[in-house]
Structure 1
Amino acid sequence: MRQAQRLRHLIAASTLAFAATAQAGTVTVAADAFGYANGALAGQIGGSGWTSAWGSKGGAPSVNGSGLVFAGNNNNAAYRSLGTQTSDIVVKFTLSVSGAPQNNDFLGLWFDNESTSDHLDVPNIGLKGNCGTNCSGGLDVFVRTTGTAGSFTSPITPNIEYTIFGLLQKTGSATVYNKFSVWVNPTGGEMESFTGADAVATGLSSLSSFNTIGFRTANLSDNLTVRVDNLSVSAVPEPASVLLAGMGLLAAGAASRRRRA
């Protein structure tokens, strides 16, 4: 009897542990460290989890040392396909600029199902100098679910590399992505717990799923280049997955009891 009780307690504790760590247990679905030889990005197939090579419609970045260097402007400066994603998503990359961002210097990483539009009705995250126009403190990092506005944080100092960490979610009863949070230089604890976001944008996007990501650049000043490196996209386990894991533990425990009986 006592052994059965201990097993039930262990199963309950394990299920709670699965729930508590679900956020930390993200699954990387695509990543690229851009370790290519110097030159053009278009056509490169490195990294993992992708279903296409990198493409560009213009304003293409170059590969220079480590990372992508953007100097031109295009809605689809660089893009790549991956498997269709429907769950909450974590995106992470590093960002640096060669000069002081001016009003509306823009580089956004977008999420979509195509690579031909301006991607204004879908989630974006990245750089938008001085909130697009002058704003208090010169905030330069932005996040948005749709439109041309968004939420802002953190001035960008030239030649300093920043880690950008974003959490894209469907919250409440929404069937489309409707919340995008960003952290700049997050701590390990923040990345595991998804707490302490520096800026949060809400609003219904047009996306219930996506299979393409890419970079849109606009209004980049002549003396400004933007470097992006170490890009990764990860899926956040659905709550149902955590429940199934707990049920699996329960089934294993029941089977063990039957064998002992």
Structure 2
Amino acid sequence: MSDDHVYLSLAENSPEGGARWAFGTGFEDPLHGVDPALRSGVDAPALAARCLALGDDALVAAQRLAEWCTRAPELEEEVALANIGLDLLGQARLLLARAGQAEGAGRGEDALAYFRDPEDFRNVRLVELPNGDFAQCMARLLLFSTWRLAAFQRLTDDQDPVLAAIAAKGVQELTYHRDHAAQWTVRLGDGTDESRRRMRRGLDEVWPYLDELLLADGGAVGDDVGDEVLRTLREVLDAARLPQPLAAPSPGSGRAGEHTPYLAPLLAELQSLARADPEATW
């Protein structure tokens, strides 16, 4: 990545030699050859909590993105958003499975995804916000993917080899997610008067949740994450000729189980089939 300008380096580091395509869940097992046994010295409860939080972020974000199916402004974008959602769903599965292993209570990925109530989820509130227009979707994806990529880059060196392997695969996917959102932010912000107005409105709607995102891990993945995220966002906004929103932070913490009213309906839809027949196998 270039040290001169983060935004300009987004395309340089996009996966598949610059191809603009999401990876989906992929066919290569990122955990192949990785010993899943907990290493001596690893704080199992802390590992479980971290994987649960990151898994919940991805699961809820994927469900929200799925709502764009048949609603995106063009077919290519509908496919792109669906693939980004699949990337996040794949991350959620791996992270929730690892959370269950570290927890040691016999809960697997399905139990954690389908049989917890909203107050038990630990996702940041940004990902549960309802969809607005396409510009708002890109603004939310820009903030989320910029932060998540910076966090995952640091987690590739985590002392838990499973989490490190999950992060390594996620870095490739999230590089694309950030690039995709950044390009649309520039395209809309530096486009027509109407597209600029919508992009500004979308950023204004999601920006109050940025502070929670930057504090989401309390420095667990590196104290410099916030600086990197803010620097990248400023560079994208400069390229889009957009001002940085001045909205005050929204109080509350999804990591503490304090969620918006929008999470419960989202989970009700996500969990309805599994809860209708809890003994079913798939």
Normalising by structure 1, report the TM-score: 0.25
Higher strand share: 1
Structure with the bigger percentage of helix: 2
Which structure has the larger Rg?
1
Q: Greater RCO between the two (CA within 8 Å, min separation 6)? A: 1
- Provide TM-score, normalisation by structure 2: 0.23
